[in-house]
Amino acid sequence: MGYIQYLRQYVGHNPILTAGCGLLVFNENQEVLMELRTDYQSWGFPGGAMELGESFEETAKRELEEETGLIIDEMKLLEVMSGKDTYREYPNGDKLYDITAIFEVRRYHGKLKIGDLESKELRWFSLKEIPENLSPMTEKYWDKIQKYYQEYL
């Protein structure tokens, strides 16, 4: 059982504070990896919640490997998001505010494959063709980080 599931036993659906990461993983064609998420039935970037004792970097490496089979060789911190803009409510009623480190990943290895129940599909997208059906939090990430990729938009 993960840390958040443990907390939920005591607080139910009430808001909690979490920490996690979002990952912009690029291939050699400057396409970004996205996952069709099972919780929102919409597209998002790989990433997830921190477990007790993990650093943001450790969380990023674990989450990417769990969700996609890819192993990070090198990453770069782009942004840290926090505050009211990170509030979200999941379809099951869970509420939270998140401190989110957003990393860019261009060096990785491994074979791309769906590795958990959070993803229905993994697909590479041109930055000009990011799907419109984004999860609510992914929309907020994307609004915040587009400035880094203006040359590709």
CATH of the domain at 109: 3.90.79.10
How many domains are there within the chain? 1
- Quick one: tokens of 16? 């909690």
Q: What is the pTM of this model?
A: 0.92
Query: What is the domain range of residue 30?
Result: 3-152
Mean pLDDT of 132-151: 91
DSSP state of 141: H
Residues written for the chain: 153
User: What region does 99 belong to: left with phi over 0, alpha with psi -120 to 50, or beta?
Assistant: beta
- pLDDT tens digits, 46-67: 999 999 999 999 999 999 999 9
Per-residue pLDDT of 21-42, as tens digits, reads 999 999 999 999 999 998 889 9
Q: Are 16 and 50 in contact (CB under 8 A)?
A: no
